[in-house]
Structure 1
Amino acid sequence: MYQIINTIGRGDHVGGKVAPDAVEVEAFIARWRMSEGAERASFPSFISEFCVLLRTERPQPPTSDPEAVTYRFEYPVRQLGPDGSATTGRIDLYRKICFAMEAKQKRLKGQPKEILPASGTDDEPTETPRGRRGADRGLDVMMLNAKRQAEQYCRALPASHGWPPFIILCDVGHCFEFYADFSGQGKNYAQFPDRHRFRVYLEDLRDPAIRAWIACIWSDPLSLDPSRQAAQATRQIAQRLALVSKALERRHDPEDVALFLMRCVFTMFAEDVRLIPADSFKRLLRECLEAPKSFKPLVEDLWRAMDLGRYSSAVRAELKRFNGRMFAEPQVFALGRDGIAELLSAAEHDWSLVDPAIFGTLLEQALEPAERARLGAHYTPRAYVERLVVETVIAPLRDDWRNVLTAAQQARDGGSLKSALALVEDFHSQLSKTRVLDPACGTGNFLHVAQDLMKRLEGEVLEVAAELGAAEQLGGFGARGVGPWQFFGIDANRRAVAIADLMLWIGYLQWHLRTRAFAPSEPILEELAQIVPGDALLVWDDWPVPLVKGRREVAPRNPRRPDWPEVEFIVGNPPFIGGKDLRGRLGESYVGALRAAYPQMNESADLVMYWWDRAAELLTLPGTKLRRFGFVTTNSITQLFQRRVVERHLNAKKPISLLLAIADHPWTKAGKDTAAVRIAMTVAASGRQGDACSRLSRNPGSTPTSRGWRCASGRG
């Protein structure tokens, strides 16, 4: 995404039209910079001229039929109140499948689009001083209200329109703010492209690249979705690494080869984000092409220096201390010219385009001989992972954040900036302690996406705190933000566990360097043990001793359920094995021990339902910290034997409720070697939650869709 934004529109043409020259841009800036005052009256003229500057189509004249013109000012939407009464709201500017725009305006009581102060007084919120972010600006209440209003309007759009990928806020003559949600859910509009660049001031429009990516929002907003480019770039890198892995495995242990290549991966990433000098690893690889025997000693020197934080003669620079488990006693294999060339080709890619959520899966395939032939044939699309993570983790956190913003606004209106800031800082502290578990984490896709989305929310929190006067600095407010230490995982595959840990650190460092005002403290990597190899369903004495001795199955001694870490949210995609296939796939002894540890489960239940049952039990324990859990399951969850597991918890003395229930959803990307997979998604919370899903059967005679179950998850 960031490469797209930085390179788009660098020529003299935009969308086939001649781009504005410097004189036209300066004239626009000068004319509208003087426009403070009657913002509502100025808004249509400002936007019409702005569209000319972008070389995009101007809004069309409205008609009496809203469906006839879906790019217009004052687009009407029907809003339902708590009592069922309907009112008509109007989006300041709307373009179907592109964006909804709201203008920051002084709106007096009783006038259209009235905004009342949070304190409930009759006073209008005080106008915030204009200028770039700083303590002197204070909290821009009207921009916050404009975003809240835009989200409410998007929720009221016709279902056939879908959720627009962008919300734009406009402060006429001053700036724009951009928020995006490419998931199609409308529950996580976050700063776009990041905290440092989501606000575009009038003077920033001098940059043709900025004008060009804004113009894309008008014409092709989904082209700015980072996952679209990330998938292709990520697959290409994984294919390069697969070739190196295949060659090395002829002479070395595959596990050691995997760890070696993971260190290479992190080093490539580190140089692209300037944690080690720019191009230093690529320069080393180019030198080694001329003298392949130098590869092993030079890389050993580099990695030892990264581990300890000292001068490296290999790259001729003083390096930061990385530590962690990554570079402790690093093993380096000698490579020939072909292997070095493949590493160099992988390093030449822009690692800002690599999505760890996809890369983890592909890296596992690249390093696993049995999977290598199918590299890239299937992976879980990020949008599908995000859908479940947003509903399980992000939606309740955003509800919390909205409540904090309201309270902070009340404190500010009452003249206490200190109290307002304390509320925001306290929320940030709680966000930085919120824990997420994936008890079948694989390579960490769900954990990475959860961390990524929580970092986006953190960016908004830090922005509000800065506007209230917080000084963001090393050792001060926000010094320890959202990071890998909050994300827990369990998986039986040791290689996948190591990859999950790597992907979390890459994702964390990507966001830290984009959203924080200071470099990460040393050591860059911490030695954590929150992602562990293991069986999330079953342990026994002497685990993990195999259950086979002398080619005969041996019953495990003292089988029992393992403890899961105490967390606020559980989300994941446990393995799919049908109830009738359990003994054939897992063995008689294991299945017998599993049934002994889970006597409440019926014998026809699929394996994934054991994870579901365990999470549901934890959700209702006295004093539990768990707020929600969400799982991908087989779409057979609607069938009798699986439904019994769910209904037992829905109808218990301490019931749970389903907040999201999608009975049939596409999952893995089908390639020539894979069939399309259909799954179900469920999200649950404790207690009776309004009109939550009360049954798991599809509507009679209906095609299975996301609307097949009655649930309280809202529009779409």
Structure 2
Amino acid sequence: MTPDQFIAKWQASTLKERSAAQEHFIDLCRLLNEPTPAEIDPNGEFYCFERGAKKTTGSDGWADVWKRNCFGWEYKGKRKNLNDAFVQLHRYAPALGNPPLLIVSDMEQIIIHTAFNGTVPDKYSLALEDLRNPDNLRLLKWAFTEPERLRPKLTTAVLTEKAARQFGELAQTLCERGHDTQQVAHFCQQILFCFFADDIGLLPNKLFGKLLEIGQQRLEHLPPTLTNLFNTMATGGFFGNDPVDWFNGGLFDAASPLPLTRNDVKLLRELAQLNWSAIEPSIFGTLFERGLDPNQREQLGAHYTDPASIMRLVNPVVLDPLREEWRLQQAAITKLVDKIAARKSKVNKAISTASTAKLTTKLVEDIREIREKARDAETAAQRQIAKRCRDFLMRLQNFRVLDPACGSGNFLLLALRGLKDLEHEVILDAERLGLPASFPKVGPENVLGIELNIYAAELARVTVWIGEIQWMLNHGFSLAKNPILKTINIIDQRDAVVNADGSEPNWPTADVIVGNPPFLGGSKKRSVLGDDYFTALETIYAGRIPAGADLVTYWFEKARTQIELEKANAAGLVSTNSIRGGANRQVLERICKTTTIFNAWSDEPWINSGAAVRVSLICFGNTKLKPVLNNAEVAAIYADLTAGSIEAGSDITTAKPLIENANACCMGASKKGAFDIAGNLARQWLTLPNPNGKSNAIVLRPLCNGIDLTRRDRDVWIIDFGIDISENDAAFYEMPFTYLTEKVKPIRENNNRESYRRYWWRHAEARPGMRSALKYLYRYIATPTMAKYRNFSWLNVTVLPDQQLIAISRADDTTFGILHSRFHELWSLRMGTSLGPTPRYTPTTTFETFPFPIGLTPANTGGAIETLESGAIIPTVAAEYRDHAIAIAEAAFQLNQLRENWLNPPEWIERQPEIVADYPDRIIPKPEFSAQLKQRTLTNLYNKKPAWLVNAHVKLDQAVAAAYSWENDAAELNEAEILQRLLALNLARKKEN
């Protein structure tokens, strides 16, 4: 279909929405040469019309068209209100997987709204006549296939930083003129909210911006005009001819605008041009607070704690337990739904049976009775479903989060957003179950704060207000009015750990506590806080907190007390990382005695009052969640924020890297670009000449990643210009260089790292240390960073390991065998991290800390090697360790041979020499065995664990145990005992080192 045909057809069409929508979209697909939903996805799994659930109103779908990771699309009839369609899409975006584009159309125009997280939204409006322009057709094409091309350049973070910095400078200027800081804070927050209200339409016709424009011309009239506006917003009414809603909430009660200079108003007019509807209040509040606080003004341009870091506490303390509660409710609801389905099936079966039998009065009665019982059971089940949904929504509505050091409210806002997101998810789930749609009830009253700083306390209220309004509008909900800003006493302006009379303050009861309390070293407390305050701390918390502890520990003790008194269930607080030791740690030891640390990050970067610091993030209290330390599940978390085995009582994280293991284990190369190519293409290039007379074999080599090891080799090669070849020299290798110029250069030139941009033809992290370590070997040991089983494999040194592989620079079977023993496997599982259920192997924690048998450490096995009669290879070691080296090597060699014979049975394959000499042979499946060979993978082998494999590992373990002098009881050792012995070896050697 041509643009002219499309335009003519739909200009003439008078069809209603229901009759026209799908045909309009199909025509659009033809215009753009795009497949229709049914053509590309017959089952409607990722692209379909009418995406959603049956609604109680009888209509179908949450979007007229939906394409996963691309768009939600809603139609209206010609010249209908498309904003209503956009609001509907917004409301159901979570149920649609939060598509990056929300598109609405009335057949005469198409409006594309961007909805990328963390960006300032863009809007593209296309009328029918606009479709003659190829640029507009390309824009629509991107919506279908490459929505990332429509990602706005301006992020909310950048917008907010700019706004906060300029606004903070204005506040600072007003303070420097001698105005009271609290008055400046209140006035600035009134202006801030007016900017926001202007951009979201709460003030009509951009009223505030026009007022500033007039005020710049008639400066003397601006203060009384502002006073009049603020008074009107406080009560509602008319400002001139414009109706103004009732805002109230206390923000506009005291209308006392400060005098402004012409330059001040000029700055305000510039600020008014920003999109205040997209301001990120959790960032703005922090930065603006620095402009108001004389003690923080020098940090005005400093960075802030990003929301993702805050969520490391909010998720495990606030949201994850609630999500688990809802998951359990969903499981119970699923049983009820299944019960209803079973009843219906029984009725249908009875009716089906009756249809083939002779009808009698008794049969009719039986069927009627079955139907009535099924109907009664369904009604009862639906009531239970409705009650479970209603009760959980009530649970969320009554849930309270306390931040006892809330600052400008960023923790509270993110907790509130999380609660509202969860509530919205539950509402949508309830709609799927046929229940009526609910209006969100979670709001600012769900969050409570304590803050000593008077202007930060008020800013926290404004932050929460704006965040609440943004959430409601962004999810398609109208705002409650009369008033718009409910009067809420959610922030107490007071000290959280010492009352003015020297007594201990009470904290309000809440479900959970989160926050970032102030840090102040024990040695500085008296000089900074004063003698009286210091004495009050010592008196109140005597016997609970040592005098030398950091100020932050008082918030930890107060939170612990709240949990002990059942005034809170859990807490998640930020602390200086020094809380893990010395006097500070006594506070965590007290916590561990009365409750549990269930989630922690032991040592993380953080921004605290504008300064980069190292912190610990600690969650403690009553929870059924599994303990997680540094994003890895552990058996227990100790007071020093290390993990250990409850059964063994051994803290394995005290193990340290060993010198004898250094420089032997490296991560593979990281490309940051499309350097990999298909093997067949590489072989073509290997036959081509270059102007420098050199072969492409110099820059082409096989690539191996974790999938190649755990499954089957994919026959992927890589362009590898090493670590120091210049761009001019690289250009002599014509085909590889041209390929990278097209595929890699455009991407790398936009990378934020200068070295990645400058050396775009090289791998981003080419690992010179790894290359140096492997240089004189003919093979090396490799293991995937992430794998279900901790397996090691041999790779030819010509094969480049990528970043999903760990390379160990040893060629002997002895080292291979030790690494493949049960002892190293257990150590790596405990010392490594994990991604979900999949263990991760890292050079520093799993390899460098592992205590190899004495005499067979990497430091002892890095020299000459010797080939035994069997073919096994041992390192040249001291005579007293040779027998152990041989026994391990022979067992490892046999294990590897057996595995290789299973993976690549000689009868099923042919080995074909590679086109480049010394490169590993290609393994070509014989046609009749191709399908069977695909199933021969290391993962499948260890899933099956045939007897011969188990026996080979037992033999290897016995040889390694003998090298540790554990031969008498190795078979009886359990995991905890093995780890205890290995830990003892590590700590003993660390002392020696």
**Fold agreement, TM-score > 0.5:** yes
- Structure 2 residue 605 is the aligned partner of structure 1 residue 637: no
User: CA 1:352/1:218 → structure 2, altered by over 3 Å: closer, same or farther?
Assistant: farther
Where do 1:407-446 residues align within 5 Å? 407-413=332-338, 414=340, 415=378, 416-446=381-411
Determine the structure 1 residue equivalent to 2:213: 286
Which stretch shifts more, 658-667 or 584-593? 584-593
* Map 1:207-356 → 2, pairs under 5 A: 209=112, 229-249=155-175, 250-313=177-240, 316-356=241-281
Q: What is the aligned counterpart of 1:659 among 587, 592, 598?
A: 598
Structure 2 letter corresponding to 1:626: A
Letter in 1 for 2:330: L
2-structure distance, mates of 1:246, 1:697: 41
How far apart, in 2, do the equivalents of 1:138 and 1:417 lie? 20
Task: Measure, in 1, the Cα distance between the counterparts of 2:615 and 2:476.
Answer: 38
2:429 pairs with 1:485: no
Q: Unaligned 5+ residue runs, structure 1?
A: 1-19, 51-103, 105-128, 144-170, 181-191, 542-558
Cα distance change, pair 208–223 in 1 and its aligned pair in 2 (3 A): closer
Residues 608 and 219 (structure 1), Cα distance of their counterparts in 2 relative to 1, 3 Å cut: farther
1:32 paired residue number: 37
Counterpart residue number, 1:678: 614
Alignment partner of 1:668: what SS?
strand
Mark the CA change 1:27 to 1:424 in structure 2 (over 3 Å): closer, same or farther: farther
Give the Cα separation in 1 of the matches to 2:207 and 2:470: 19
Cα distance per residue 1:443-470 (max 9 Å; x no partner) = 1111111112212222212222334455
Secondary structure of the structure 2 residue equivalent to 1:529 = coil
| Max Rg structure | 2
Residue 325 of structure 1 deviates from its aligned partner by: 0.9
Partner of 2:908: none
Is 2:495 aligned against 1:495? Answer: no
Residue 509 of structure 2 corresponds to 566
- Check 1:421–1:21 CA distance in 2 against 1; reply closer, same or farther (3 A cut): closer
Please report how far the alpha carbon of residue 503 of structure 1 lies from its aligned counterpart in structure 2 after TM superposition: 0.4
Q: Deviations over 1:232-262 (max 9, x none)?
A: 1112112322343244331522221211111
Distance 1:212-1:393 versus aligned 2 partners, 3 A rule: closer
CA separation of 1:209/1:220 partners in 2, compared to 1, >3 Å: closer, same or farther? closer
CA distance in 2, matches of 1:572, 1:393: 12
Q: Residue 457 of structure 1 aligns with which residue? A: 422
Supply the RMSD in Å over aligned alpha carbons: 4.0
**Deviation for aligned residue 1:229:** 1.6
Tell me if structure 1 keeps the 8 A contact 2:577–2:603.
yes
Query: Is the counterpart of residue 535 in structure 1 residue 500 in structure 2?
Result: no
Q: Distance in 1 between matches of 2:238 and 2:104?
A: 42
Aligned to 1:75: none
Q: How many residues align?
A: 537
RCO comparison, higher one (Cα < 8 Å, 6+): 1
Equivalent residue in structure 2 for 1:197, among 93, 96, 104: 93
Shift of 1:680: 0.6
Quote how far apart the aligned CAs of 1:366 are: 1.8
Is the contact between residue 248 and residue 484 of structure 2 (CA under 8 Å) also seen in structure 1? yes
Match of 2:548 in 1: 604
With over 3 angstroms needed to count, the CA separation of the structure-2 counterparts of 1:353 and 1:516, relative to structure 1, is closer
CA contact (8 A) 1:176 1:199 kept: no
CA distance in 2, matches of 1:668, 1:679: 9
Aligned ranges for residues 130-209 of structure 1 at < 5 Å?
134-135=55-56, 175-176=66-67, 195-198=91-94, 204=103, 209=112
Q: Answer yes or no: is the 8 Å Cα contact 1:357–1:382 preserved in 2.
A: yes
| 2:931 counterpart residue number | none
> How much has 1:506 moved relative to structure 2?
0.6
1:364 deviation in Å?
Answer: 1.0
Match of 1:24, as an amino acid?
A: C
Counterpart of 2:484 (choices 524, 533, 545) is: 524
- The alpha carbon displacement at 1:534 in A equals 1.0
Cα distance in structure 2, aligned partners of 1:211 and 1:231:
16
| Distance in 1 (alpha carbons) for counterparts of 2:623 and 2:115 | 49
The residue matched to 2:618 in structure 1 has which SS?
strand
SS in 1 for 2:470: helix
Aligned-residue offset at 1:274: 1.7
**8 A Cα contact 2:52 2:60, kept in partner:** no
Question: Is the contact between residue 692 and residue 711 of structure 1 (CA under 8 Å) also seen in structure 2?
Answer: no
Residue 628 of structure 1 corresponds to which residue in structure 2?
A: 570
How big is the shift at 1:577? 0.8
Q: Whole-Å Cα distance in 2 between the matches of residues 230 and 618 of structure 1?
A: 37
TM-score, length-scaled by structure 2: 0.49
1:385 match: secondary structure: helix
Change (3 A) 1:509 1:204: closer
Distance change in 2, residues 1:196/1:26 (3 Å)? farther
- Give me the whole-angstrom Cα distance separating, in 2, the residues matched to 1:714 and 1:681: 20
1:580 aligns with 2:523: yes
Displacement of 1:273: 1.7
**8 Å contact 1:321–1:524 — kept in the other structure?**
yes
Q: What residue is the counterpart of 1:3 in the other structure?
A: none
The Cα shift of 1:490 comes to 0.9
Pair 1:619–1:711, CA change in 2 (3 A) = farther
Displacement, 1:582? 1.5
- Match for 1:353: what amino acid? A
Identity of aligned residues (%): 30
Residues 25 and 205, structure 1, Cα contact 8 Å, conserved in 2: no
Q: Aligned match of 1:594 in 495, 512, 537?
A: 537
Are the counterparts in 2 of residues 577 and 608 from structure 1 also a CA contact under 8 Å?
yes
SS at match of 2:636: coil
> Is the deviation greater in 627-636 or in 581-590?
581-590
- Seen in structure 2, the aligned counterparts of structure 1 residues 25 and 511 have a Cα distance that, compared at 3 Å, is farther
Q: For residue 279 of structure 1, give the secondary structure of its aligned residue in structure 2.
A: helix
Partner of 1:660, secondary structure, is: strand
8 Å contact kept, 1:360–1:499: yes
Alignment correspondent of 2:287: 362
Distance change (3 Å), C-alpha of 1:638 and 1:669:
closer
Distance 1:561 1:236 in 2: 41
Contact 1:578 1:606 in 2 (8 A): yes
Task: Kindly state the Cα deviation for residue 386 of structure 1 after the two structures are TM-superposed.
Answer: 1.6
- Cα 1:592–1:222 change in 2 (3 A) is farther
The Cα shift of 1:349 comes to 0.8
C-alpha distance 710-617 of structure 1, shift in aligned 2 (>3 A): farther
How many Å apart are 1:132 and its aligned residue? 6.8
Pair 1:590–1:375, CA change in 2 (3 A): same
Match of 1:700 in 2: 654
What is the one-letter code of the residue matched to 1:584? S
* Structure 1 position 33, deviation (Å): 4.5
Contact 2:70 2:145 in 1 (8 A): no
- 2 CA distance for matches of 1:193 and 1:278? 25
1:175: Cα distance to partner?
A: 3.1
Is 1:175–1:199's contact at 8 Å kept on the other side of the alignment? no
One-letter amino acid of the counterpart of residue 681, structure 1: L
CA separation in 1, counterparts of 2:500 and 2:144? 56
The structure that is helix-richer by fraction is 2
Q: How many Å separate the matches in 2 of 1:203 and 1:383? A: 25
**Alignment partners' CA distance in 1, 2:492 and 2:114:** 46
Whether the aligned pair in 2 keeps the contact of 1:438 and 1:488 (CA below 8 Å) is yes
| CA–CA distance in structure 2, aligned partners of residues 304 and 692 of structure 1 | 57
Opposite residue 378 of structure 1, the aligned amino acid is H
